[in-house]
Amino acid sequence: MKDKFIITIHDVNGIKQYTLKQIVKRYILYFASFILFFVFTSTAVIYFLTKEVSQLSAKKEKLQSQFIQMTKENIALKKSIEQKNSELKQITEKLKNIEEMIGIRPEEEKDLSHRINQLSLTTAQIYHMFKNIPNGSPLKKTVITSRFGYRKHPVNGQRDFHPGVDLRAKWGTPVYSTARGIVEYAGKKGNYGKLIIIQHNYGFKTLYGHLSKIKVKMGDFVEKGQLIGYSGNTGLINGPHLHYEVRYLQRPLNPVNFIKWKKLDYKKIFTRERHVKWESLIKAVTANLQTVPEQQLSVKAHLYQGN
Ligand SMILES: [Zn+2]
């Protein structure tokens, strides 16, 4: 009975017994335990994998949302960079326009004054420039009593910008034009008192203030060194003197540079007065000198034909 396996079945008909060999019983046991093991392992694996998949998909979702966020930020940054670039471009353009308007050289022409200093002008060019651009003093004797720039106003004591120089002049001292030009204004004007404004070539103007007498009229052509009036003490002033201004494209420049400007060292002003576009000015002078003889020729030819 040792190797026998007995199955006993009870039913209405009585008791029946079946015997199986011990080896079969063992196989059944193995099979059952294998099935159990398989079911257990599969369940564990499936559980593990499911967990892993859900973790991965959570990670994926997180990364996706991060990616979307970064893309959005990237687009916003790009937009802001583009905007900043266009703003910068506009500012640069505006700055250049302003510089051109007030006659300051753009930065790229930094070595301009050096280049201009290398330029040698012909006698004709120098002669032409010293006729047309303010130079020398409007008085026979020159003593500066108040400088160009910020100062304490001699009458009201407030800090203000002095757009010219004050030259010592007794009442009635003759005043001369410092370059040829057209009289733009001759008359009374606020703090200036009796004032003459002369419009010169190449964007220059000179102003002569606090005069006692004016000898020219608006629209008159005046020569370099011509008597235009007499000094005085009209306007906001604490004693007689001549107020003298040099302007270039409406911007007041330091008249001292122009008063000291001499034919012999004509180049000095190119480096001293950097607000003037000397290079283009010399180009204009050259062009003027070349066109004048042609015009004279054509007038002559016209007259000849008339005869
Ligand atoms: Zn003054």
Ligand 1 centroid – CA 274 distance (Å): 23
- 56 in a domain, yes or no? no
Contact of 214 with 208, CB cutoff 8 Å? no
Question: For residue 266, what are the domain limits?
Answer: 116-275
- 255 in a domain, yes or no? yes
Ligand 1 centroid – CA 133 distance (Å): 21
Ligand 1 centroid – CA 134 distance (Å): 18
Q: What pLDDT score does 110 carry?
A: 54
- 187 in a domain, yes or no? yes
CATH number of residue 252's parent domain: 2.70.70.10
Model confidence pLDDT, tens digit, residues 9-50: 788 888 877 776 777 777 888 888 999 999 999 999 999 999
Calpha distance 216→197 (Å, rounded): 10
Closest CA to 158 of 53, 274, 236: 236
How far is the CA of 237 from the CAs of 77, 145, 167, 224, in angstroms? Answer: 60, 13, 13, 27
User: Does the pLDDT of residue 106 top 70, yes or no?
Assistant: no
Ligand 1 centroid – CA 243 distance (Å): 4
Ligand 1 centroid – CA 130 distance (Å): 25
Closest CA to 182 of 216, 219, 225: 219
- 204 in a domain, yes or no? yes
Model confidence pLDDT, tens digit, residues 241-255: 999 999 999 899 999
Three-state DSSP at 260 gives coil
Domain count for the chain, please give it: 1
Ligand 1 centroid – CA 208 distance (Å): 9
- 307 in a domain, yes or no? no
- 303 in a domain, yes or no? no
> What are 268's two structure tokens?
């000095």
- 300 in a domain, yes or no? no
How far is the CA of 236 from the CAs of 102, 142, 155, in angstroms? Answer: 28, 22, 7
φ, ψ for residue 45, nearest 5 deg: -60, -45
Ligand 1 centroid – CA 165 distance (Å): 5
φ, ψ for residue 238, nearest 5 deg: -105, 0
> What are 63's two structure tokens?
């990364």
Ligand 1 centroid – CA 153 distance (Å): 9
Ligand 1 centroid – CA 41 distance (Å): 106
- 231 in a domain, yes or no? yes
Model confidence pLDDT, tens digit, residues 241-292: 999 999 999 899 999 999 999 988 898 899 899 999 998 899 899 888 887 5
